[in-house]
Each structure stands twice: as C-alpha cells, then as structure tokens.
Structure 1
Amino acid sequence: MTDIIEHMEWRYAVKKFDSTKSLSKEKVQKLKEAFNLTATSYGLQPIKMVVVKDKELRKKLVVHTYGQLQVAHASHLLVLCIENMVDSEFIANYFERVQHVRGTSDQILNPYKEALVKNFSSMKKAEIKQWAINQAYLALGNLMTVCAFERIDSCPMEGFDPAGYDSLLGLDEKGLTSVLVMPIGYRADNDMFSEFKKVRRGLKDSVIEI
C-alpha cells in the first residue's frame, strides 16, 4: 500500500483541470461521507457542503471567484458553508440525534445540553460565526487528505465572493453562508505546477519536540 506521506507529496493546489475527465459517483460519495464524518467542536456540525456538478452554473461562478477557471473546468465544485443560525433549537436537534443513535437517557444528556445552550446564548453572533468557520476549515483539511489518498486532484480556495456564491446557489434561502470552495477532479497534463517541488520548512523548523 502506498504510504500516506507519498499521497501528500503527490497532491498540490491544481491550477488547471482536465475538463474532459469526471469523477465517478463512488468517488464523490466518499467525499460526501468524509465531510460528514469530519470532527467538529461539540459534535454540533454547524456546516454543510454543496456539491456543484452543473457546468453552466459553475461558469457563472467564475466571475465570483476572481476569474479562477478551476471552478469551471473541474469535475465538481465543493462549497463549504456555515449555518447562519446556531441557537437552542439547533443544539436540541443535535441531542435528539445523540439519543436516537446511542439511546442515551435525558438524565445524562440534559445537563450537557443546558450547558451548551447557556454557553452559546452568551456568545455574540460574530463569535459564533467565527467558531463555525473554524469547523469548515477542519472539514477542508479532512477533504484535502481524503482527496490525496483517493488520487483526486483539488484546489482549496479562500479567494471568492461569498455574496455572489450565496446568491447564485440560493444559499440565503437555505440559511447558509459560503466560506470556502474547492474544485475537485483530475489535473490537466499540461499543468506545469504539477511538476513543481514542494516548498516547505524543514521538520526541525516546523515541529517542536518537548
């Protein structure tokens, strides 16, 4: 089996995708499941992922991605979003899932639930938003690793206009805000960046052992 480090060495932020190649349904399904299995703070999952396959729609999104054509040429586009409302109802829904899956009693769950509700009710909206954004970054890192292991090319992006995406994808109506995007697919044979060596600090400069 190929070592995970070899997979990580293989991956890079693709600058040019092969628009003639598409990911199989099985590959896309793995990424959906990997996203859903990503660890999040308190297990609350204040994030959702929109999978955009429609090529015409992705062409319209290019202008809101500062002209980056990977969005249009990739097989699919993953849009990571945060929930606009994380309130007592959202938290209660999580604990209902816990009870349904694990059969944990209210006696055990209620103190934890009440503590979370109290904690989030004391937070400002901007604090909750930043907390949710942090969870989206966790998911992005997880997806990048799974993509590398599955030999799926990707290009994580922060450079885009969330308002434009939210409008075109109807995210406002879904109670969501886009925060990260990642085109996925297969690199073009003539993407010169695929041959570039990685530039990283040495381990002694990036890792401290105590």
Structure 2
Amino acid sequence: MDSIEKLKWRYATKKFNRDKKLSNEQLDVLKNAFNLTATSYGLQPLKLLVISNQEVKDNLVEYAFNQSQVADCSHLLVICIKTDIDSNYVDRKFNLEIKERGLEPEMLSDFRAYLKKTIENQSQEDKDNAAKNQAYIALGNLMTVCALEEIDSCPMEGFLPSKFDKALNLKDENLKSVLLLPVGFRAEDDFMSSLKKVRLPIEESIITID
C-alpha cells in the first residue's frame, strides 16, 4: 500500500486482539518515531511511557472511563509533558547539541541566553500548555507511523490524567500524562474496521492559493 492507502486503512480501533502483540522491532520503530518528533526549539518537553504489563493496564481502565482498548491493546502509550523545563534543562539540551554537532559554545550563546530568559519568564501553566500542544504533534506522528507500519491505534483524550499520574507515580518523575495511544492489532470482530472511511470532499477541507 502507498502512504494514502495506508492512511485510509487506519481507523480508531475500538477492539484489539488481546493475544496479538507488537514485536520488539515494531516497538523500536514507534519509540524512535516519538523521539524524532519535531518540538519547539528542539527542547523535547515530552516523555513517552510504554506499558505492556497487563495488570497495570487493567488497573488503568477505570481511569479511562472503562474503555477496553486500554487493557486489550498490545501496548499502552502514555504521552506525558515534562514539568521541570527550566534554565538547567535548557543548558543540558544545548550542551548535548554542542557535543553531538561539534560546535563552539559561542555559536549558540545568544540563542541559549534568549531561550533561557524566555523559559524563566513563563509561568508553569504557560509551559505546561505549550508542551501539551506539542504532545498533539507527537500523537499525530505516532498515528501516522503506526499506519505506515500497519499497527492499529486509537488516540484518546478521554481519561483522568490526575488518576493516571497517581497510579503511575508520574509526579515523582516530574511528568504529567496528557494523551493516550493504545497500539496493537484489530480484532477480527471489530465492526469499525469494515466501515468506509468518511471525510469531507478535498475541495471542502483544503484552500489552494496559487
């Protein structure tokens, strides 16, 4: 299938085959796709939890309004935002860039100072909101890669982040959960899989300015 056909193949999976699991190679693809997602200033204010433990998944179902995909998927991906984005974090990212690219520190000194000042002047709420917006970019990227790899997925906003955070001890890791993406393989009797994908005509969803 080409890219468009694979995007047509994708749908928000309602019922997963509980017995079919992603391979380590497939998981590595998704992990790398997440890590390569574009983020503002390249700061990567996100972290991904990859949960395969069945007991943990089962216990989280009630905090996701009893959506069975959370338990039945091969792996539950939890996209989190980092709550410790500060000047020290910015320095660590710049130091890594200097090391990996073999740059002279002076080349980035003005930009580093600007970014640190920008971060310092933001409230925690502003930083959290900015990171959450970028989490949606990561979600979209993961969904597309899943389609290209013929891995089923179901994006979810419908869950209780505070309950997830407590159950997964995310506060201790300076993290907050913001989005879920159960991944795996569709069940043969998932009625949604056979339904035609319905979208607006291209001319109604796109404006071309020549």
Query: Which interval holds the TM-score relative to the shorter structure?
Result: over 0.9
Deviations 1:8-49 (A, max 9, x none): 000000000000101101101110011000010000000000
- SS of the aligned residue for 1:49 comes to strand
- Report the equivalent of 1:127: 126
1:197 aligns with 2:201: no
4+ runs of 1 displaced by more than 2 Å?
A: none
Deviation at 1:67, TM superposition (A): 0.3
Q: Give me the whole-angstrom Cα distance separating, in 1, the residues matched to 2:81 and 2:99.
A: 24
Gaps of at least 5 residues in structure 1 are none
Q: Give me the whole-angstrom Cα distance separating, in 2, the residues matched to 1:67 and 1:107.
A: 53
1:146 aligns with 2:145: yes
- Report the equivalent of 1:169: 168
Deviation at 1:87, TM superposition (A): 0.6
Q: Give me the whole-angstrom Cα distance separating, in 1, the residues matched to 2:56 and 2:120.
A: 38
Q: Give me the whole-angstrom Cα distance separating, in 2, the residues matched to 1:73 and 1:129.
A: 30
Q: Give me the whole-angstrom Cα distance separating, in 1, the residues matched to 2:187 and 2:99.
A: 46
Q: Give me the whole-angstrom Cα distance separating, in 2, the residues matched to 1:201 and 1:121.
A: 43
Deviations 1:146-182 (A, max 9, x none): 0000000000000000111111111111000000001
For 1:50, the aligned partner's letter is: L
- SS of the aligned residue for 1:144 comes to helix
Gaps of at least 5 residues in structure 2 are none
User: Over the residues paired in the alignment, what is the CA RMSD in angstroms?
Assistant: 0.7
- Report the equivalent of 1:69: 68
Deviation at 1:134, TM superposition (A): 1.0
Deviation at 1:196, TM superposition (A): 1.2
Q: Give me the whole-angstrom Cα distance separating, in 2, the residues matched to 1:3 and 1:49.
A: 28
Q: Give me the whole-angstrom Cα distance separating, in 2, the residues matched to 1:23 and 1:208.
A: 39
- SS of the aligned residue for 2:49 comes to strand
What percentage of residue pairs aligned between the two structures are identical?
A: 47
- Report the equivalent of 2:52: 53
- Report the equivalent of 1:29: 28
Deviations 1:108-148 (A, max 9, x none): 11110000011111222211111100111111000000000
- SS of the aligned residue for 1:13 comes to coil
- Report the equivalent of 1:106: 105
Q: How many residues align?
A: 209
For 2:135, the aligned partner's letter is: A
For 1:97, the aligned partner's letter is: L
